Structure 1
């Protein structure tokens, strides 16, 4: 006796198997020292936000939402207040998390409030963009930026991957602010480089692969307003800073500025494409 399984949806009798090619594993292409990684950009994904941006660079995925200017009830202020909150998704490991414990100092995996890593990122972004937004245009208002780190590259156990993440968070925030329509003096873009002190070579946008040496390197992330004579609005240096002279610092800043201008050019091309 044949019993028909009525819960199963059977395909047509003449169905053919799909011809799916085998997945090819290819080694990543090598970049030159002055080349940045390819990125994916998208704006306007968050419907209830005034502006938003989404960015992917290899394993790093960031989403930024801007809310405001929103009216403040109560006392009058002659310029808008500005705040930034960077948070990782709960299951995402944070760069150098073993060194920067959460605020409670507990070994628990449960995170309460902002961790020290999140505070450092929030503080950098808030300080850098505070100089670019024309807050006087929005009295008795607040502008709030919320950064969600969906995925992060934690290859490096030191602060170096944290600096790289800070660089891309800064750039994604800039794109979200442009999407919000909030008036700014200039679009802030950032660059990050790594200097190998033994070879005196600088690598732009390092990805901290297995061939990367951290022991004798200095990493720097720097944010600029390029249209306003390359004004520096924030920088962060980490690594072996012994014998770090003025000439070396100048070299780091110049290369960071070079990367920031390349990112600005990519952003300009993307923004032009959104209005055409």
Structure 2
């Protein structure tokens, strides 16, 4: 029996979820990565989720809804904080982060991730259900071996599962798709759920699929001049990936009931 000893072993009892692809062979340009999902690992959180995708490991903890003392807001406030473990390299850190070697609070990359996640998940949460309250998401990147946009897409998926585990009332589960448009010798090819950006155009789109595929987040890197027809095609590919992930998340959640 051949064993890949480079693989990071998931915690005991973790449930494997496999994308619905036509083949279990190595990933091609239209496949999405295999994933592991586990909820409820953080005992002192109201909800949590752990996700392993290829050589990437993400953990999200949800705290709340918790009352805000002295506040009379008529709906919940939401905060998101993303942190990489100290020894983990951050994607594009040579571009976005300061090079002084010091980390005071969040780095620029951590701030960008936190901001995107908060923007994408807010439309799904029924904030009016939780007046005078706060809902806090703490995201920890335990291992990272992919591009920034691909990582953010999987963080969104993991965060949505954590919200469900916390019992937060939501309109829909937010899922994301991410693709690269690669051009070689004038020929363009689309890579779904890529492992790296390879200096190509990257597109990340987050959806509420049950709400008529409503887009709640969009991030494009690598080009300021993109044809509308090409962009629409890339968004369609992102939607297909998002729906595959949503299907597998649904299967996992149903298996936990």
Evaluate the alpha carbon distance shift between residue 207 and residue 24 of structure 1 in structure 2; reply closer, same or farther with a 3 A threshold.
closer
CA distance in structure 2 between the aligned counterparts of 1:117 and 1:111, rounded to whole angstroms: 11
2:126 is matched with 134
Per the alignment, in what secondary structure is the counterpart of residue 136 of structure 1?
A: helix
Greater strand percent: which structure?
A: 2
Evaluate the alpha carbon distance shift between residue 245 and residue 23 of structure 1 in structure 2; reply closer, same or farther with a 3 A threshold.
closer
Find 2:87's aligned residue among 87, 91, 98: 91
1:8 is matched with none
What 5-or-longer segments of structure 1 have no aligned partner? 1-20, 155-160
Runs (4+) off by over 4 Å: 21-26
Task: Please report how far the alpha carbon of residue 213 of structure 1 lies from its aligned counterpart in structure 2 after TM superposition.
Answer: 4.2
2:12 is matched with none
Task: Please report how far the alpha carbon of residue 170 of structure 1 lies from its aligned counterpart in structure 2 after TM superposition.
Answer: 0.7
Per the alignment, in what secondary structure is the counterpart of residue 124 of structure 2?
A: coil
For the Cα contact (< 8 Å) 1:218–1:241, is it kept in 2? no
Per the alignment, in what secondary structure is the counterpart of residue 191 of structure 1?
A: strand
1:184 is matched with 170
1:38 correspondence with 2:62: no
Find 1:167's aligned residue among 127, 146, 153: 153
Task: Please report how far the alpha carbon of residue 75 of structure 1 lies from its aligned counterpart in structure 2 after TM superposition.
Answer: 2.5
Evaluate the alpha carbon distance shift between residue 270 and residue 107 of structure 1 in structure 2; reply closer, same or farther with a 3 A threshold.
same
Evaluate the alpha carbon distance shift between residue 178 and residue 22 of structure 1 in structure 2; reply closer, same or farther with a 3 A threshold.
closer
Q: CA RMSD in A?
A: 1.9
Pairs within 5 Å for 1:178-217:
178-197=164-183, 198-208=186-196, 213-214=198-199, 217=200
1:80 is matched with 76
1:145 is matched with 137
Task: Please report how far the alpha carbon of residue 186 of structure 1 lies from its aligned counterpart in structure 2 after TM superposition.
Answer: 0.7
| Structure (1 or 2) with the larger CA radius of gyration | 1
What 5-or-longer segments of structure 2 have no aligned partner? 7-23
For the Cα contact (< 8 Å) 1:90–1:111, is it kept in 2? no
Deviations 1:33-84 (A, max 9, x none): 2210100100011111111000001111000000110001002110000010
CA distance in structure 2 between the aligned counterparts of 1:87 and 1:73, rounded to whole angstroms: 27
Task: Please report how far the alpha carbon of residue 233 of structure 1 lies from its aligned counterpart in structure 2 after TM superposition.
Answer: 0.2
Instruction: Using structure 2 for the length normalisation, give the TM-score.
Output: 0.88
Instruction: Using structure 1 for the length normalisation, give the TM-score.
Output: 0.82
Task: Please report how far the alpha carbon of residue 24 of structure 1 lies from its aligned counterpart in structure 2 after TM superposition.
Answer: 6.8
CA distance in structure 2 between the aligned counterparts of 1:72 and 1:93, rounded to whole angstroms: 35
Per the alignment, in what secondary structure is the counterpart of residue 91 of structure 1?
A: coil
Task: Please report how far the alpha carbon of residue 93 of structure 1 lies from its aligned counterpart in structure 2 after TM superposition.
Answer: 1.0
Evaluate the alpha carbon distance shift between residue 119 and residue 213 of structure 1 in structure 2; reply closer, same or farther with a 3 A threshold.
closer
CA distance in structure 2 between the aligned counterparts of 1:170 and 1:143, rounded to whole angstroms: 16
Per the alignment, in what secondary structure is the counterpart of residue 192 of structure 1?
A: strand
CA distance in structure 1 between the aligned counterparts of 2:254 and 2:214, rounded to whole angstroms: 24
Task: Please report how far the alpha carbon of residue 22 of structure 1 lies from its aligned counterpart in structure 2 after TM superposition.
Answer: 8.1
Per the alignment, in what secondary structure is the counterpart of residue 120 of structure 1?
A: helix
CA distance in structure 1 between the aligned counterparts of 2:153 and 2:89, rounded to whole angstroms: 18
